[in-house]
Structure 1
Amino acid sequence: MTSLQYISWPVLALMAFVNVIGFDDIIYNFKNQGLGVITSWIILFSLYIIPYGLMVGQLGSTFSSEGGGLTTWIRETSGETLGFFTAWTYWVASIPYVVDTANSVVVAIGWLINGDNSMERNMSNQMFALLTFLVFIVFILLQSRLRHSLQILSIVGGGAMFLMTVLFVILTAVDLVGGAKIASAPLNVGMFVPKFNLHFLSTLGLLIYATSGSEIVAPYVTRMKNPRRDFPKSIILLTAMAGFLTIFGSFSLGVFFNHNHLPVDLKMNGSYYAFDIVGQQLGLGHSMLFAFTITQLLYMFALLALLLDAMTRMLVSDTSPHFMPKQLLKINKNGIPINGYILTSALSAGILLLGVFLPNMNEIFNWLLNLNGIVSPYVTCWIFFAFMQIRKRSSEFNSAYVFIKNDKVAYWVGFWCFAVTFIAATFGVFPQDVPFGSGTYWHELILNIITPAIMLALGWILPLIARWQNDN
């Protein structure tokens, strides 16, 4: 391997960054915890995100010859059956993410056309669900033609989103220097301390959801010149970049929004509100709003197309055929697992149908987003489970990069991350954005229990169908 083929540690950090933190992630968690989220971010990055990333580095290095994916890690440490359920849970947990992304496309188009949130006021739940599903179908139809160009677009969209987030922090500083008043003033130490109650616990899953994803760079660990020395540098740089944006981004939001009286629809429209406010206060009119809206559309277009392709391919190609019904393994002339796409569409339609009966468009958006804060952390638990397995049987697994030389200490650090993630996902079942005990609260609580249960049950049904087909 020549030096030109090596990936430098700053490049690897940037590759991971665009898959970990976006401006919307800062908005969502600011809505949940106000300025107290700054303390939550600091604790999370210090005690969770750094070890999480370094564990991913060892797993990717250990199984580099097999591709280094999550399914591979579980299959190689715990067998084919658990490998299949890892692939299934990873895929099915991506369904709410895909639907939420399609929702965000519809919302962004509304802002681009109207320049405000009037779509939310005028659109029925049924129309919102229908438009979301149409966006979904259009991208499936275009997938085979646009897949390669949209991979490039994902780099452009992700990079632009990063720059817009940095720009927002810089413009906030400029605005403050110019004498702007802080909406959350007067500031005091107590405002930066989270309130430790059931609501706080129910929001931890969304924090973990916002910061997960560094496993995407695991296969590249062995393409570094000195992974033992350079990979920790990448994770530290990633943590520093993400920490800077989440901490200062959250404070910047506190400048423009009173954290004690946040808009009800902040999760859905907060990004647009924020860029519009900062643009107008600096005398730029609505230009910042439209610049962000276009960036958001580019980012969501690429993310949606790549998610649809990657998640379906992983399920049908990275699992043993005797776990999958033969219909799902069908590949069309364009190399697309077409029946896998159909199954994805059907489950997405089912989730959209469940959400239609919520009170309004904002509640649909919030429920889908919070559903990600349940299912995504549960899947992240597989990462720590795999790490615990390789450290418990370290003599069987060799790695160019090792996180913590002492196996027992490493195992318990893995267990710590596993426990935190599992607890956060479990408490995420409790609704966050509606009054406790209201009709909508119980409605969403039931949905948060039965939706993951149905998803998991389907994972048990597919191997039974496959076994019946093989027997007959």
Structure 2
Amino acid sequence: MNSKMMADVNQSRKSYITWPVLALMDFVTVIGFDDLIYNFQNQGLSVISSWVIMLFIYVIPYSLMVGQLGSVFSKEGGGLSSWVRGTSGEFLGYFTAWTYWAASIPYVVDTANSVVVGLGWCFNGNDSLENHLSNAKFALLSLLVFVIFIFIQSRFKNSLEVLSTIGGVAMFGMTVLFVIMTFSALVEGRHIATQPFNLHAILPTFNFKYFATIGMLIYAMNGAELVAPFVTRMKKPKSDFPKAMIMLAVMTAFLTIFGSFSLGVFFNAHHLPNDLKMNGSYYAFQALGRQFHVGNFFMYCFAWTEVFYMCALLAVLLDAMTRILISDTGSKYMPKFLRKTNANGLPINGYILTCVLSAFIIGLGVFLPDMNDIFNWLLNLNGIVSPGVTCWIFFAFIKIRERETQFPSEYVFIKNQKFALVVGWWMLIVTAVATVLGIAPQDVSQFSETWWYELAINLIAIIVLIGLGAIMPYVTRREQRSSIGEAFTKIQWIGMVSVLLITMISSFYLGGTHLAMRWWYIGGLSLVGIILIILIGKKEYTATK
């Protein structure tokens, strides 16, 4: 009897997650080498100061808030939508799940684009892919990547989550290697490319451009909510979770500060390449290889690591984001045809919707001047939608602190209720403002033709992705009231798909490269939206008894 009790105790101890492991798990989801590149191009060497500021006034409180939310809703698994549902009702819970899923669409498209770019470096050893691919071919290759990985996901399931974790750790290893080798190069007398390299160079200029790029910093640093379900699996969450977050902060500080410093060594922060966001990671490791006379060795190591990680991540995202949406919203707000699964339990129509919306996002950017502009625009779109979804975290935190007796927690971030609410509102307001300011296009001349076009497609993408979430409950009600159990007849489906295809195909032939034709393309998509709404409104159905 005693030996059995002892075995149970040992088994329970084995199931605990230690705070260093949790910190490492969280770190993989929070920051990566590409995040350093993106923000280095936005702010230059002054991004070092921005990383420090964001670390103390944003990342640490954000992570600790997530810890309390995960502890409060441990029985629901700690998902973001369950936090909002538990505090504000079913509909907001559904809408949170939808916006979280919608925000993932630009992310998976960006991931597919990164796979294509990475393969170009793996096989060409340089940045010549842009010279060989038109915008249309780049878009088609990205769509092909989607199709391939949806097929892969149907064959290999949970193993790909393991692969993405391995890839994430490998990516972290490459980043640490880059920092260490950079300091080794300085010891050997490497000339610093950014001049003057002084205190003034790392101080930011607080203007509109600076504040418009904060959304990208938030996009780079969010993701801590993914480890929230593991808080309750710690032996002493009240004391161990803060330790994990301190370790996370130290690791993030090391990577962001010294990583950005290292980039300033190899790149002149005052004259950066225009394609740094798309190719900067490869340029960096290429420069490192030249410094140590090993050619493209480091670049190829990074390129294959990037492709491996992005491929695994894409496959996991395509499955996880769709499953979360379908399973977490239930039948009350989500149409039956989207909840339909095949023989293997896969939400096949959800996959199709993901592909259609991904194609829509790719189509919006296809008329930008070149492939680099498409990559940059899509990345900046993530810097809008991702912080927007993060607002739900602070909204839920404010709600649980307003009703503390209703939402007890083993771990509490800031015991004083009033101060906790001030911090919660601060985080919500900062994130919301960064989201709105991020709508202003980046990486193009202000108020140029391309700037206005990017502003228009930013707004269209947001309206379509979020607007569909508002329409779905209405479609669900139509299904439930229909005598045939369907929201639309076959003729209506054919008509809607035909209008959409005609508009899309026409835009390729008539769009050209002129701004006027691009606006025609936008107008055509808007017209399709109006026609779809009219068709929905005209649907006749017979209420079931």
When the two structures are superposed, what TM-score results if normalisation uses the length of structure 1?
0.99
Q: Aligned partners of 1:236, 1:307: CA distance in 2, in Å?
A: 28
Aligned counterpart for 1:76 among listed residues 83, 86, 93: 86
For the Cα contact (< 8 Å) 1:431–1:441, is it kept in 2?
Answer: yes
- SS at 1:16 equivalent: helix
Tell me by how many angstroms 1:48 deviates: 0.7
What is residue 447 of structure 1 aligned with on the other side? 457
Q: Aligned partners of 1:144, 1:227: CA distance in 2, in Å?
A: 37
What is residue 383 of structure 1 aligned with on the other side? 393
What is residue 382 of structure 2 aligned with on the other side? 372
Aligned counterpart for 2:300 among listed residues 269, 283, 290: 290
What is residue 49 of structure 1 aligned with on the other side? 59
Q: Aligned partners of 1:467, 1:361: CA distance in 2, in Å?
A: 42
* Alignment: residue pair count: 472
Aligned counterpart for 1:263 among listed residues 251, 265, 273: 273
For the Cα contact (< 8 Å) 1:23–1:161, is it kept in 2?
Answer: yes
Q: Which amino acid aligns with 2:76?
A: E
1:232-381 alignment, distance < 5 Å: 232-381=242-391
Q: Which amino acid aligns with 2:401?
A: R
Aligned counterpart for 1:61 among listed residues 62, 66, 71: 71
Q: Aligned partners of 1:347, 1:328: CA distance in 2, in Å?
A: 14
The yes-or-no answer on 1:22 pairing with 2:32 is: yes
Tell me by how many angstroms 1:169 deviates: 0.0
Tell me by how many angstroms 1:151 deviates: 1.4
Q: Which amino acid aligns with 2:132?
A: N
What is residue 235 of structure 2 aligned with on the other side? 225
Q: Aligned partners of 1:469, 1:122: CA distance in 2, in Å?
A: 48
Tell me by how many angstroms 1:185 deviates: 2.3
* Identity over aligned pairs, percent: 61
Q: Which amino acid aligns with 1:471?
A: R
Q: Which amino acid aligns with 2:166?
A: V
The yes-or-no answer on 1:117 pairing with 2:127 is: yes
What is residue 447 of structure 2 aligned with on the other side? 437
Aligned counterpart for 1:465 among listed residues 475, 488, 495: 475
- SS at 2:29 equivalent: coil
Q: Aligned partners of 1:352, 1:300: CA distance in 2, in Å?
A: 18
- SS at 1:412 equivalent: helix
Aligned counterpart for 1:407 among listed residues 410, 417, 420: 417
- SS at 2:92 equivalent: helix
Tell me by how many angstroms 1:156 deviates: 1.1
Q: Aligned partners of 1:122, 1:301: CA distance in 2, in Å?
A: 22
**Deviations, residues 35-92 of structure 1 (Å, cap 9, x unaligned):** 0000000000011100000000000000001111000000000000000100000000
What is residue 167 of structure 1 aligned with on the other side? 177
Structure 1 ranges of 4+ moved more than 6 A = none
**Deviations, residues 420-472 of structure 1 (Å, cap 9, x unaligned):** 10011110001110011110010001111121011111011111010111122
Tell me by how many angstroms 1:163 deviates: 0.2
- SS at 2:201 equivalent: helix
What is residue 193 of structure 1 aligned with on the other side? 203
Q: Aligned partners of 1:39, 1:312: CA distance in 2, in Å?
A: 38
Q: Aligned partners of 2:317, 2:24: CA distance in 1, in Å?
A: 19
What is residue 205 of structure 1 aligned with on the other side? 215
For the Cα contact (< 8 Å) 1:322–1:470, is it kept in 2?
Answer: no
- SS at 1:396 equivalent: coil
- SS at 2:213 equivalent: helix
By relative contact order (CA 8 Å, sep 6+), the higher-ranking structure is 1
- SS at 1:441 equivalent: helix
- SS at 1:395 equivalent: coil
- SS at 1:285 equivalent: coil
Q: Aligned partners of 1:155, 1:372: CA distance in 2, in Å?
A: 22
Q: Aligned partners of 2:458, 2:183: CA distance in 1, in Å?
A: 40
Which runs of no fewer than 5 residues in structure 1 stay unpaired? none
Tell me by how many angstroms 1:135 deviates: 0.3
Q: Which amino acid aligns with 2:136?
A: Q
Tell me by how many angstroms 1:148 deviates: 2.1
For the Cα contact (< 8 Å) 1:157–1:295, is it kept in 2?
Answer: yes
Q: Which has the larger radius of gyration?
A: 2
CA RMSD of aligned residues (A): 0.8
Q: Aligned partners of 2:207, 2:230: CA distance in 1, in Å?
A: 40
Q: Which amino acid aligns with 1:83?
A: G
**Deviations, residues 290-346 of structure 1 (Å, cap 9, x unaligned):** 000010011101110111111101100001311011001111111111100000000
Q: Aligned partners of 1:149, 1:223: CA distance in 2, in Å?
A: 23
**Deviations, residues 187-216 of structure 1 (Å, cap 9, x unaligned):** 121110112111111110000000000000
Q: Aligned partners of 2:372, 2:158: CA distance in 1, in Å?
A: 34
- SS at 2:264 equivalent: helix
Q: Aligned partners of 2:205, 2:142: CA distance in 1, in Å?
A: 35
Deviates more, 1:453-462 or 1:29-38: 453-462
